[in-house]
Amino acid sequence: MRLSLLFPGIFVVCALFSLTNCEEQRLPKEDKLLVVTVATKETDGFKRFMRSAKHFNYTVKVLGLGQKWSAGEYMSAPGGGQKVRLLQAALEEMKNEDKIILFIDSYDVIFASGPKELLKKFQQTRHKVVFSSESLIWPDRHLEDKYPHVIEGNRFLGSGGFIGYLPNIKEMVADWTGEDSDSDQLFFTKIFIDPVKRKSANITLDSKCRLFQNLHGALDEVMLKFEDGRVRARNVVYDTLPVVIHGNGPTKLQINYLGNYIPNTWTFETGCTECHKELNPLKALKESEYPLVVIGIFIQQPTPFVTVFFERLLKLQYPKNRLKLFIYNPEAHHEPQVSSFLKDHGSLYQDVKFIKPEEKTDGAASRNLGFDMCRKDKDCDYFFVLDIEVVLKNENTLKILIEQNLPIVAPMITRAGRLWSNFWGALSAEGFYARSEDYVDIVQGRRVGVWNVPYVSSVYLVKGGLLRSELTDYELFNSNILDPDMAYCHNIRNKGIFMYVTNMHTFGHILSTENYQMSHLHNDLWQIFENPKDWEERYIHENYTRIMKDKLIETPCPDVYWFPVFSDVACDHIVEEMEHFGKWSGGGNKDTRIQGGYENVPTVDIHMNQINFEKEWHKFLLEFIAPITEKMYPGYYTKCATPLNFVVRYKPDEQPLLTPHHDASTFTINIALNSKDVDYQGGGCRFLRYDCSIRAPRKGWTLMHPGRLTHYHEGLPTTAGVRYIAVSFVDP
């Protein structure tokens, strides 16, 4: 006896409740589904599509690989007929009538879920063919009235994705006789709006985006949904979770953004799941086998700490004989620093090309020339852009970027204390900066990974093979309306090449070049406000931060404290700056620089305000002297009011010593700016009340002592050479 006679109600229940186990048992098997796509080149977008298909175990048939694309540009005019022709030919060879075909684009498509969910949702439509839907009509708006009306949802057909049974799709495309450049969208639209053809092929639209989500016209409707270790795109208008996400039309950047997370590329639970795949490890290679890299160093404007930049370049952990240098410097101000580096170290590198200021090459042209140096060298594996304002503190940066094995990848760097970085997470409609939803989390390290972004600058690695293939255009940086970096990124995006930024490691930061003065000998000394971290690293003693922890403060005399504060470089620069200024006082009692015009205990000196260094010196006292004062003199809090800050010069034939005196201060600091027995003989300081002398001051160390009443003191004779000290009378 048949089952239906024994249990007549079971089929009624299955018909009424489409989500029951009964219907799930009748769902087509996953091996009946075949994904068909057209891709003439294996672009970055195609590779992303295939990764997402592999993630969910889709079976994919690719049509047209290696063929010339002759179907027009989607962004500018209708086209795509080549896809229909290729599909038509492929279907003719397929004989399995119960096969289900999913035909979708690939360059701008990602899967968000697997075949089981897709087939289930397809079955629930109760149609033989389902097209994706759009809220915007394309390419012929005059056909709008011929579309069937829908109560809720999108009304118009999107040809970038459809699913159906093999016989029905064969029927649809059987009549195709168009040219490759004809519109596939218009072809399928005319089938759909024809009631007879629509019924014959049993076609419907996925109006509420249950299977397909086209992003064009729907950007405000789609948001990421993080749940239970999975990431989906949710349509908040229809409360649906589409299986296929399509960045159709001008939404390529949005699909790139979603692709940073879908399918499970990055989750809150796992972090980045793709970041360690497809790496190109260097450990197995001998140094002589390392990829050849051209490093392009670009000086675009007067920049602080250029000498330090080149010191870091030397420390880059990469064999020098596998590096070539391209250096662009239009600034005569930096010519001595660049020339000095090349003279001392240029021979370490395989080759060096140097564009000097007198060549008068502009920024865009210089970058094009740099790329061309790699482009013309068949052995050049990578071009590494490195702008002079980049502080690259991670010595393994180049190795890390190469191992990522990406077409273009930048190490994330930021400006200290600000959200400014060398990448943009999104673009405005005009093509300028816009903040993506995840930008702050990426910059602040709350989301760590490798991110597909629309703009990188300042420091990034480009594959040399890319320059000799897709990027053969010599003038990538040229534009009449965009700056060179924006023009470059615009051209890269237009070619469908992905740019990435990684924050998987800490790489460094970028300098502020604002308010950089060039009126001094050592202009970096004035950077304590603009670039405080770099100023401290350059000019503060390497042991300063250990003063309290390791008890480095010495007490050579009662209530006199001695500790390291300045680096040797700071001492040298201050001395050289003063000698460069050269207007030393005569050491007489008459002194128009101070209030009252009379100095009781005169020295041969130059005041900090004479070289416009008063504000910077005050900042130094607040940041590096005041904290020690408050530790060593408990209960006393200083704002470092300093009417007198100056550098004193002692010479045997000028002013060798200073007679006993009190300082006009609550406390005084006295920093030795050069070394006894190296730069001078004799010297030192004696506190008469305690008959206590410091006869061998250490370069970069400061004496800190009370100024009045108890600490009557004198400067001991300098017997040879020249001695320099920096003095501040704090809190008069």
Catalytic sites, residue numbers: 723
CA distances, 233 to each of 35, 227, 241, 452 (Å): 20, 11, 6, 17
First to last CA, the chain: 112
What is the Cα–Cα distance from 667 to 399, expressed in whole angstroms? 51
Show the beta-strand stretches assigned E in 570-664: 605-607, 644-650, 658-661
Query: For residues 490 and 477, what is the distance between their CA atoms, to the nearest angstrom?
Result: 9
220: CB partners within 8 A, 6+ apart: none
CB atoms within 10 A of CB 250: 13
CA–CA gap between residue 104 and residue 93 (Å, rounded): 19
Q: How far apart are CA 263 and CA 56, in angstroms?
A: 9
Give me the sign of the Cα torsion angle 121, 124, 127, 131.
negative
The pairing of beta strand 459-463 with beta strand 380-387: antiparallel
* Under 8 Å between Cβ of 243 and 113: yes
Q: Which helix (H) or strand (E) holds 537?
A: helix 532-539
> With left for phi above 0 and alpha for psi between -120 and 50, is residue 144 left, alpha or beta?
alpha
State the amino acid at position 41 in one-letter form. K
Give the C-alpha distances (Å, rounded to integers) separating 649 from 235, 626, 721: 75, 25, 11
Report which secondary-structure segment, H or E, holds 152. none
Pair 626, 561: CB distance under 8 Å? no
Beta 33-38 vs 60-63: how paired, if at all? Answer: parallel
Cα torsion for 109, 111, 112, 114, to the nearest 10°? 160
Task: Report residue 189 as tokens.
Answer: 């639209």
Taking the C-alpha atoms of residue 478 and residue 494, their distance in angstroms, rounded to an integer, is 14
539: left (phi over 0), alpha (psi -120 to 50) or beta: alpha
Two structure tokens written together for 363: 């920024």
Single out the residue of 186, 129, 115 nearest to residue 161, CA to CA: 129
Q: Strands 100-104 and 156-165: what pairing?
A: antiparallel
**544-551: long-range contacts at Cβ-Cβ below 8 A with a sequence spacing of 24 or more?**
544/624, 547/628, 548/631
- Distance, in Å, from the CA atom of 19 to the CA atom of 36, rounded to the nearest integer, reads 28
Cβ-count burial of 430 within 10 angstroms (0-12 exposed, 13-18 middle, 19+ buried)? exposed
